[in-house]
Amino acid sequence: MKWKELEEEPCSMARTIGVIGDRWTLLILRECFLRTRRFEGFQSALGITRHLLAERLKKLVRQGILRRIPYQESPKRHEYILTQKGLDLYPIMMAIVHWGDTHMVDERGRPLLHQHRKCGKDFDPVMVCSECGEPLSAKEVHTHPGPGARSTPADPAPATAKTKARSRAA
């Protein structure tokens, strides 16, 4: 499976992974949320090679996650800022950070704390049900096919060797 194919899978997770599912992209996005905006800023913060950084920024712009806007003429310079689509990645970032805070910290404790401006306190992110507001866990959730699901039990096109890997996806 190539990266391009991922984005065409009938699975929101596979499609999202096709866009942000590599380590440099995720780290670049971390920097974006920490207010880094410029090429040199990303490069020196991350130690990424300039080649890959340029490539990843282009991809994020193509995907509509970053917008490239000029901040000076002559020489032309641009900076990269998160679009709304990019800002919407925040829960993913926070979920990743929170898992790391829970399972990957050393004896020194958390590298970063997060303060909620509204209530003023340092917080953890909690994922809740949009309908009843209760916290979610894997075991309380039942997953079932939606309108965009690929195959049904009566799928007229039986899986071939080529498509077999996809029929399960969702």
Partner DNA sequence: ATTGACAGTTCTATTTTAGAACTATATGCT
Partner DNA sequence: AGCATATAGTTCTAAAATAGAACTGTCAAT
Residues of span 111-140 touching a copy of itself by CB under 8 A: 111-119, 121-134, 136-140
- Residue 160 found at the interface with DNA (CB under 7 A): no
- Rounded CA-CA distance 56/62 in Å is 10
Closest CA to 136 of 146, 147, 125: 125
154 part of the interface to a copy of itself, by CB under 8 A = no
- Using the CB atoms, write b or e for 34-65: b if 16+ within 10 Å: eebbebeebbeebebeeeebeebbebbeebeb
The amino acid present at 170, given as its one-letter code, is: A
At closest approach, how far in Å is the CB of 150 from DNA?
19
Residue 49 or 163 having the CB closest to DNA: 49
Q: How far is the CB of 133 from DNA (least distance, A)?
A: 39
Which residue, 96, 61, 53, is CA-closest to 82? 61
Query: Which of 21, 78 has the CB closer to a copy of itself?
Result: 21
169 binds DNA (CB under 7 A): no
- The closest of 87, 56, 85, 82 to 67, measured between CA atoms, is 82
Residue 15 touching a copy of itself (CB under 8 A):
yes
Q: Scanning residues 38 to 97, which ones bind DNA (CB under 7 A)?
A: 38-41, 48-52, 54-55, 57, 74-75, 77-79
Among 70, 75, 146, 156, binds a copy of itself (CB under 8 A): 146
> Which of 21, 39, 59, 81 touches a copy of itself (CB under 8 A)?
21
Q: How many whole angstroms separate alpha carbon 133 and alpha carbon 131?
A: 6
Q: How many residues bind DNA (CB under 7 A)?
A: 22
